[in-house]
Structure 1
Amino acid sequence: MASRAAAKVVRKTKVPTDPIVHSPFLKIIIPAQQARPAPPLGPQLGRRNVNIANFCKDFNEKTKDVIEGIPMPCFISVKADRSYDLVISHPSSMHLLRMAAAAKKGAALPGTEVCGRLTLKHIYHIAELKKQDPHLMRRDLQMICKMLDWYSTPFRY
């Protein structure tokens, strides 16, 4: 009898859990001009108390000059007053290389199979564009070209 009463007391006195604190920084890839409050973007912004409708309007406005649907890497930092800073980078290197090679996807067997054609001129122009990204600003153009050359293995002859 005493054990039943003790079990009821234990059930009633549950330990309160601490609220989950999410990081104020968020890195996400959003298609250009297609930010919507639906998952996965909406829940991630909602957890950080950001006004989702305003964010979608801001993002779509900032990417109106980009071809619709191109994946844009975004860095979002949320402040305590529910405002945010949005930094939009250029599309990923692999996406730009695929577009330049006119390939839908990379080769299944890089080095033996060719899925597109890239020239050094393509790589140079992509490197100039990627040099403007915040995380590559301090790199020299030659280093970025070498990195892109390494990434372009599936598109080589």
Structure 2
Amino acid sequence: MNRCALFRARPDTVCVDVGSSRRLPPALFKKYKDTFGVAREPHRRVVANFRYFMRPGKAMTGPPLGQDLSKVGIKPMDFCKVFNDKTKAVFKDDVELILRIQIYEDKTYSWRIEPPPGAWYILRCCRKKRRETNSSTWVCFITLEMLFEIAKQKMRHWAKPDEPEIEIRVRHLIGQARAMGICVLGVDGPSSPVWGMSEREYEKKSEEYRKIHREQFFEEQRRTLMEAPLYQRLHHPDLTGLTPEEIQKGLRDPKLFRSLWTATDPKSLHSVERENEEMAVRYMRSKKWALHKEVPKEELVAMYKNRDLPPGYTESLLKSKGPAKV
């Protein structure tokens, strides 16, 4: 594929500015969350789970949707009407949504829609259709920045947009693109994906792009740490940024004292000896030694400590002889 064809394959909506945000714009994120996010349901026994690929406004009472819903006592016509009314005015007709339906024991159900699968986004970026890719050879190219834009929309939990991190989601998309025979420029190929820019110029711009993204990543990690409760920041040496109100609030947290007790409680000699005895008994039983007769625990501990010594030697004997002469 020549560079000109690759340049035409780049969507206009992809943000290629240096230091672009790691998340969706606030307005778009709110729209996505209202559309795909669902409230936590109370705990009820689930009897069936269904998953379909459905286009907006295209739900029909025929199989497989209508057949599966009829088996569990749900009217397919009512569900199709609700689904079509909700999705037809929001999405385009060619979007492949993921529909999940959960059936409960009391004949009630809940359903939610999810963004299209990652393969759908990748094929749209490459201007390819299904069965036009081949895993045995490269058939087209995709840029790393496109995968970052796709990863922003493929969130696992809309209430926690940074879990998992965007780098982990991009790695999954890279593996999926490779399995489809799509070369990821910047990972699998060093060529410049921008028309009119040399490879060295593109590498210089990419380094600047990665530098700003690393700064954003560390800033996000620092902000997350500073917003965490006080008992989770005990391992962090810098607590000077805390205000007196935050310190007082953290001191009133019962988990703080439990964490301090766990971190500062020294083990007594009795507990250490008991752990050694238990470890020795488990080891001797795993080797099936001294099981035919009653052996004191002190002797078991001595045998466990001397398990790596040469035959006929004991730990006290070696100490009395001192180091071996060369």
- Cα RMSD of the aligned pairs, angstroms, is 2.3
Aligned with 2:93 (options 68, 89, 95): 68
The equivalent residue for 1:3 is none
Distance 1:133 1:103, change over 3 A: farther
* Deviation sequence 1:107-153 (CA, Å, 0-9, x none): 2244x331x3311121011100001567x963111100000011112
Normalised to the residue count of structure 2, the TM-score between the two structures is 0.37
Task: Verify: 1:123 aligned to 2:147, yes or no.
Answer: yes
- The amino acid that maps onto 2:123 is R
* Higher-RCO chain (CA-CA 8 Å, sequence separation at least 6): 1
Give structure 1 stretches of 5+ with no counterpart: 1-21
Give structure 2 stretches of 5+ with no counterpart: 1-45, 184-188, 190-326
Aligned with 1:40 (options 64, 71, 86): 64
Poorly superposed stretches of 4+, deviation over 6 Å = none
Normalised to the residue count of structure 1, the TM-score between the two structures is 0.73
**Pairwise CA distance, 1:80:** 4.2
- The 8 Å contact of residues 54 and 96 in structure 2, kept in 1 or not, is answered as yes
Whose helix proportion is higher, 1 or 2? Answer: 2
The equivalent residue for 1:91 is 116
Distance 1:69 1:81, change over 3 A: farther
The equivalent residue for 1:5 is none
Distance 1:46 1:58, change over 3 A: same
Q: Distance in 1 between matches of 2:133 and 2:138?
A: 6
Query: What number of residue pairs does the alignment pair up?
Result: 133
Task: Verify: 1:29 aligned to 2:56, yes or no.
Answer: no
Distance 1:61 1:76, change over 3 A: same
* Deviation sequence 1:12-42 (CA, Å, 0-9, x none): xxxxxxxxxx933222222222100011110
Aligned with 1:108 (options 117, 134, 142): 134
- The 8 Å contact of residues 72 and 90 in structure 1, kept in 2 or not, is answered as yes
- The 8 Å contact of residues 33 and 69 in structure 1, kept in 2 or not, is answered as no
Q: Distance in 1 between matches of 2:82 and 2:165?
A: 32
- The amino acid that maps onto 1:90 is P
**Pairwise CA distance, 1:79:** 3.1
Q: Distance in 1 between matches of 2:157 and 2:85?
A: 19
**Pairwise CA distance, 1:75:** 1.5
Distance 1:127 1:141, change over 3 A: same
> Identity, % of aligned pairs?
21
Structure 2 residue matching 1:37: 3-state secondary structure: coil
The equivalent residue for 1:155 is 182
- The 8 Å contact of residues 37 and 52 in structure 1, kept in 2 or not, is answered as yes
Q: Distance in 2 between matches of 1:92 and 1:49?
A: 29
Larger radius of gyration: 2
Q: Distance in 2 between matches of 1:31 and 1:100?
A: 19
- The amino acid that maps onto 1:71 is E
Q: Distance in 1 between matches of 2:118 and 2:61?
A: 27
